[in-house]
Amino acid sequence: MSWLWWGMLLAFGLVWFAVIGLWLLAVRRDPGDVSDAQAQRLQNRWIIGGGLVLPGVSIAVLLAFGIPVGHGMLPLSADEDVLRIEVTGYQWYWQVEYPDAGVSLEDELHIPAGEPVHIHLRSNDVIRSFWVPRLAGKLDAIPGHENVLKLQADQAGVYRGLCAEFCGLLHADMGFTVEAHEREDFEQWLSDAARDD
């Protein structure tokens, strides 16, 4: 996602400079004597080039970069072996459950580093937006509906998450942490947490 953002910034920066350059050229340029037919041809070229070709090429290039990045952020297919974590938003905390292990937590997630996990999002009362800025994009948690977010931490560490949708009076208390463990440490944590519950 980071590469997509930087690529889009570069592309739009180039377009912005090109538009400013063309505007300065148009302001300072002396058109000279041109016939009506020549003026019409020039106008048609600018409309076709600047109104059809440039946007078409720009969109095609951005889609060529954006579609693979977006596809990589989609949840994996159901038949692949991926850790399932169920997260439900309440006023004013996140309930985190590991259904296969019988572990239940509040405002903290533990995941294995270097592996994708599926976060199944729900909300008990109002719309919320689950967001871990360093790991994935935002995804809404909607009452009566389940959304699935693919989350992956490439390195072990602690990542801060938050609710990115104003959800009421204590919205600021809807923060949480995601701790990514090396695979062996995660297995040990999950085993200890299951024994404690």
| Average confidence (pLDDT) per 10 residues, the chain, 197 residues | 81 88 84 83 86 87 82 64 93 94 95 94 94 91 93 94 90 93 95 85
Phi, psi of 182 (to 5 degrees): -60, 155
| Predicted pLDDT of residue 74 | 67
| pLDDT score, position 22 | 83
Angstrom distance (rounded) from CA 170 to CA 175: 11
How far apart (Å, rounded) are the C-alpha atoms in residues 178 and 94? 12
Give the Cα separation of 46 and 17 in Å (integer). Answer: 17
In angstroms, how far is the first alpha carbon of the chain from the final one? 37
**What is the pTM (predicted TM-score) of this model?**
0.68
Tokens representing residue 21 in the block: 């350059």
Residue positions counted in the chain: 197
Which pLDDT score, from 0 to 100, does residue 77 have?
Answer: 61
pLDDT of residue 75: 65
- Residue-wise burial string across 60-73, b where 16 or more C-beta atoms lie within 10 A, e elsewhere: eeeeeeeeeeeeeb
Residue 165 neighbours by CB distance under 10 Å: 19
- From the number of C-beta atoms within 10 Å of its C-beta (0-12, 13-18, 19+), residue 16 rates as exposed
User: What integer pLDDT is reported at residue 171 of this predicted model?
Assistant: 87
How big is the CA angle at 63 (ends 59 and 69), to the nearest 5 degrees? Answer: 150
pLDDT at 120: 95
